[in-house]
Amino acid sequence: RKKDRNVAGLLRERLPKKLQALLKQAGELGQQTGHAVYVVGGFVRDLLLKHPNFDVDLVVEGDGVAYAAELARIYGGRYKSHPKFKTAVVILPDGQRVDVATARLEYYEYPAALPTVELSSIKMDLYRRDFTVNALALHLSPERFGDLVDFFGAQRDIKDRVLRVLHSLSFVEDPTRIVRAIRFSERFGFRIGGQTDRLIKNAVRHSFFHKLSGSRVMHELRLIFEEKTPLSCLRRMQDYKLLAAIHPLLALTPSKEAVLLEVENVINWYRLLYIEPQPQVWMLYFLGLCTGLDPEQFAIIARRLNFSKRQAAEMVALRQQIRDTAQGIFNWEYHKGPPSELYFLLEPMPLEGALYLMARNPREPLQKYVSLHLTTLRHKRVEVTGNDLKALGVEAGPRYADILRRVVGAAIDGLAVCRAEQLELARRLAKGEPVADFLARQPGGDR
């Protein structure tokens, strides 16, 4: 057998020093305890592709949980184990996560799919994985540090830019791999291999997706929504009739596609504003995928995807809030309300809702108003504090909130711009004195 390729040089070139030291340490610990240790999966794939990826997945040919405990001890970190799966996650003091899995022969049940019986445990572990390019491992032991373990031709597939499953029962075992194939294919610009493509079509024809649990489908959908190009992934899913296979109501229609395209635009626009926090983008895409569904249909989808009662109720409420707010903004525009009214309409809305509202109304002035709120109005701060109100004899409570709200409103409308004016307004409100003449005195006060 020809000598394995060694990529220690690539590790030195591509990884932060700290991470290199961690991998060395991980290998030495394995040697001390007499177990081979490998780094596996996406980490190795991305190393060869020269994509930064610092998520370390280790596989130990031995007791992975005990190994993880020891690794945590050496670094003074924490660890959490799942004894049932013989896995653990170590969290180092600097926040670095290390996932540890156990490779053990007796742990797998693959009578039909197994080509040979004589497999090392690392080979068995890699054989369970989704695609050849994800089934690479790297030796970490000191004498073989950086040796590539490639049983399935992954290096060639990376070179040819192709995704291939490891065996023909792969999608029977786990249909979510179909969605993963599309996701990786779009992310890396890899094509899906011919045989793998036929297996996908076969899996869809035989409705493998029907028996798949909602939580697993939703998990994979969320991963899609968090990719750089979710819409192109969704289009590919549509081409394979996968969305309809999850549920007919999820099929991509032209109008959904138009909304999802705007969702993508709005997310990119917002990203470039660099305002923290950023939205949960999956939620926007999910709302887009559910465009046009009435509440009963939405409930069916929420059930299919196994949303908890609370999650489903929150989504239903958000959809309603989006609709009501859009109506509110149309009314506000019609009667030419002041900016503060727009602020109070949008202020209770989660960021995701506001952005979705923009995506749903790309060519309406409404989009401009929501963007005004997000970029400007909502960042307005008043200079009157709780202590000021306390000094005026107003304690925390509904009256307190009401006064503050009116000061904020006046500030946004340019009717109380400096601290002195805001304080005077608060004082009048606190004492129950009339404020109309005060507000009318201000430069913007003749609206």
Nearest-angstrom CA–CA distance, 441 and 56:
64
For every residue of 340-393, which 3-state class applies, written as one string?
HHHHHHHCCCCHHHHHHHHHHCCCCHHHHHHHHHHHCHHHCCCCCCHHHHHHCC
150 binding ligand ATP? (CB under 6 A): no
174 binding ligand ATP? (CB under 6 A): yes
102 binding ligand ATP? (CB under 6 A): no
H-assigned helices in 37-138: 42-49, 64-75, 121-127
The least CB distance from residue 447 to ligand ATP, in Å, is 52
87 binding ligand ATP? (CB under 6 A): no
**Interactions with ligand ATP, residue window 50-79 (CB under 6 A):** 55, 57
DSSP 137-186: EEE-SGGGTTBEE-SS-HHHHHHHTEE-BSSTTHHHH-THHHHHHHHHHH
176 binding ligand ATP? (CB under 6 A): yes
Where does this chain touch ligand ATP (CB under 6 A) — which range of 1-9, 73-81, 174-182, 191-199? 174-182
Q: Which of 139, 164, 177, 256 binds ligand ATP (CB under 6 A)?
A: 177
Alpha-carbon distances of 58 from 55, 151, 192, 229, rounded to whole Å: 10, 17, 27, 29
Nearest-angstrom CA–CA distance, 279 and 354:
10
The least CB distance from residue 227 to ligand ATP, in Å, is 8
Q: How many residues sit in the footprint of ligand ATP (CB under 6 A)?
A: 10
Q: Which of 27, 30, 41, 288 binds ligand ATP (CB under 6 A)?
A: 41
129 binding ligand ATP? (CB under 6 A): yes
157 binding ligand ATP? (CB under 6 A): no
The neighbour count for residue 325, using CB atoms within 10 Å, is: 19
Where does this chain touch ligand ATP (CB under 6 A) — which range of 65-73, 117-125, 128-136, 415-423? 128-136
H-assigned helices in 64-120: 64-75
431: left (phi over 0), alpha (psi -120 to 50) or beta: alpha
134 binding ligand ATP? (CB under 6 A): yes
Where does this chain touch ligand ATP (CB under 6 A) — which range of 156-164, 171-179, 342-350, 379-387? 171-179
186 binding ligand ATP? (CB under 6 A): no
Q: What does the binding site for ligand ATP look like in residue numbers (CB under 6 A)?
A: 41-42, 55, 57, 129-130, 134, 174, 176-177
